[in-house]
Chains A and B, each alone.
Chain A
Amino acid sequence: MKFVSSSLVGDDQRHKISENFIASQRDARFRPFYFGAILFTVLVAGGALFVDYMIVTEFWTRALANEFLELPGSLASSVAFKSLQVLFATLAAHIFIEHMGVFGRAVFVRVLFLLALTMLGGVGLLLALMSLPAGLADAGLGGNGASLGTALSSLGIETEAAREAAVAQTGLDEARAYQPVLWMASLGVIFLVVTGVAALFLHYALINLKKLFETRDFAERKADMSRLAALEAEYARNREMLIDMERMDHRRNMLWTRLMDSCRAYERGLEGTRTSYLTGRKVRALPAPGRKRQERAAAEERSGQLKACADSQQIARYEALFEDWWSRRQRMSVNDGGPREAVGEVLPPVNTGRRVPTNKAAE
């Protein structure tokens, strides 16, 4: 017979528990990082929302303002409300991201990056146009050369510069026809980039918040593991105790011990009586006439009682009584339909402490 481990938690499971504990502990160490990440991402998302708000406010202001760029009083407050749509746009983008898979999110981020590049390119182009060299600006786009060419052409003299300026002016006029569309497209790109960034950072903030909450898992896991260890220890102790208690000879021994405890208590009581009897006999120094005989009779009676007690204390008597009681108990158990506590029934049958026969031939 070979004894198999009595643990209810298998080795693989225990290994997994240990791995999970280490991972949880590692996560818990990142708690300050997650906290900082939440702050940072929320700040960035807030900043992006603010930029979006300003862009949309400007849009609505330009759309609703009069020729002096002034808003009528009733519309001033509505602009603020209309601009708050950026909040909902950001939330919509956030929900969109949340519903995306890994691949979709990767595509989203790349598209956002391309839009950001376009935005930066546009900003760079504007800056370049604003800081053109003087000679290039003289070519006809409203510089000094252009005004000179205009003056000469008004006198009927057509110069090369005036001809180039006329060509450029035609191109500008064509471009101006698309100006609202270009303006809206630029605004749209900027809006999309900023909203996308806000939504992404909101997503990261939520991820970090989730991780921050998950770090609490470590404390609970630690407590659970301590509890598991305590339960397993109690289980093992209880199991050992049950193995003993299931045995009939153990039961007999325990009952015998209990009987002997009672006998010892009896012995202590009897000892007190003996002592008081001997002490009382010494005190009576001056007996009255006739009392001596009475005392002797009482003493004889007393010693008779004590002798009877001493006789009753024979171990053989207790053993006989115990055996009598035990055999009666066994008979009653059989009459009741079998032993009251079936041997071997106590051990939990599932995966615990099984005794499996070993192959003797193999040994």
Chain B
Amino acid sequence: MLPAEHDDPFAQFKATFFEECSELLADMEQYLADMESGAFENETLHAIFRAVHSIKAGAGAFSFSRLVEFSHKFEYLLDELREGKLEVSPELVETLFRGFDVLSDLIGFAQNGEIAEDTYGQDALERIEGYLAGNGAEVGVSEPTPEAVSASNGNDNSTPSDKNETSGTHFRIEFTPREAMYRHANEPLLIIRELKELGRTETVVDTSRLPSLQAMEPEDAYLSWVFDLWTEYKREDVDEVFEFVIDDCDLTIVTLDQSNEVVSVDVSPGAPKSEDDGFGFFVDDEAMKEGAVSAAIAEAVKNTVESSVENTGAQPTASAAASKSPVSVTAKAPVKTDAAVPVKAPASGGLKAASIRVEVDRVDRLVNMVGELVITQSMLAQEVENGEGGATDRVASGMDELSMHIRELQENVMSIRMQPVKSVFSRMPRIVRDVSKKLNKKVKLVTVGEDTEVDKTVIEELADPLTHMIRNSLDHGLETPEERAEAGKAEEGIIRLSAEHRGGRIVIEIIDDGRGINREKVLSLAKEKGVVAEDAQLTENEIDNLIFAPGFSTAEEVTDLSGRGVGMDVVRRNIQSLGGRVSVQSFPGRGTRFQLTLPLTLAVLDGMIVGVADQKFVIPINSIIETVRPPKKDVERMVDGSSVIRIRGEYISVLPVSRIFGLDGGEQDPSQGLVILAETEGGRVVGLLVDELAGQQQVVIKSLETNYRAVEGVASATILGDGSVCLILDIDGLTAMQVPEEKEAAPLTISDAQNGNHSANVAAE
């Protein structure tokens, strides 16, 4: 095979590489945060080094030259750092952060196939070089990419680099291995075999030094060979055969002409090669001089490890082909590798549990298949229940068992996709740091429960909402040190980011000890923007949650540091699209608390099936507070025709689902139907008026939008045991459809909704 020039045999691994990069970057971020807070160990420095090291290796394999160059320098700095040659100072950490950013970006460019401008990352580079220069180290040019190396070294060709004009060259090779060769597990036999592949050979073995069997040391070298080789290959190719063992043997290669006269002599082609073949074989100087015996090998090895670095002298040391300036390394203290330290768990966590990687696609398919299984089992269960002839006890109990097994299977399959939120949480310290600096505020971030697991798809979607909520706290919630001092608080504000499992959902909280939400400002802004009516009366909690209202984003929020449009309504929509809810609670003067809940599994939910008119719908059980049939006296009619019911002193709006959906025949009187009290995202409680309850079951969520589009009041759909499609209600959506005064801008009126008219389609009919 010719060296790859145009085709990249490793292209298929790019995806793996980028995936690995993103994991390494996430880890690095955490390490850097640890370094910043001072909570790091030596192992942290090693781990950061290794991360950049791995990135560089992969980058080189794919010839991402900018990335290679930068990571090479960065890696060097980190190497100095882990060797203890640089001290961890705030400036250094800052440099590391900058370097991290550039690294991150360069990876991004590489991934998208973009080229960064020449000056990109310049300042970070300068800072890094500043440290290196200060330590007297010069960093050589980074490793040549594979292409460069092979291009510069003709020896790599498996075909003869340059055939001789004549029919071949006659070499005479004398080869006497020394026992040091065995110490490095080099096998003369293999070398000889390789030599023979170059052409025709005649061999003479000299066994004169071979002692008797008893006296023989198994690992000593007693044989020597003389080869006559006729070959089309060049001298370099012959040299290459012995390259690895050059200094572990006595080697003489002469070129003979037709008459066997010596044409040229080269004793022991051990002249250091100025080119780096990219590989090399070890030579032991001491063995050459002392002729150490095998029995002392272990000892020698041990001693060499502990002694200082030897003079490399005549070794065919490798120096970068592209540059002649060697990496000059300052003299080190006794070579101490991590070997001296007992196996230590990395700073970021315990030893990794055994794991395998699976493509997300496969897991998704598995999840879907299990979902179908759930549906089929439902169907069977239904058949069994409805079955004529009566299901036997055994069938019935079999079904129960089946149901249990499937549920277990499902839980386990779902858990494959679970990942700790750490990967998202680890980005937050950085944000807090950067933004608080910009705003001249002192803030400390505390994270709790980073190991809490959540579905992988959810994790990816969490980053933005979390970032925005934390930024919200930083921008609006937390005060400047002076303000805090005045208020009698500690100068440093705290943001507490936590995650925990609660009741089948994951609950993430962001709590700050700032000033809370400025309710007056929020309310007046909301009224100004028409989000609420001028005369609307809202509870404190409702005012707080106005920040999530669409159209509410204040100007400050819109200018994100990264220039993106931001708004809490976007946050809420994102969370909702994941099946989650987000709300806020404010404690004036004391702080703010964002709470966001997400389902653990996205594809399945526990639902209550209700009957409305002649249709069935599913209400997510997690949203249900309770179900009531209110006595007539507790039902009151409002002026606009809607109803409210009074429960424990509070008034709850009644949403007649049948009317909202324009279905005929549904129960209109709350006291005759069932009212299901459910909670909206904003924490508001509404009562859904339905006709009856039709059961409870776990349902697999199916998308409407895939083939159609979103429908108001409907979150998604599922397939029931009888094969029919059943819609899953969107409580917030229903609430919005019912209560027009909360959305002034709405062109739709309730009667429109009831008649099932869409403004755009009325004309079409």
Co-assembled chains A and B: no
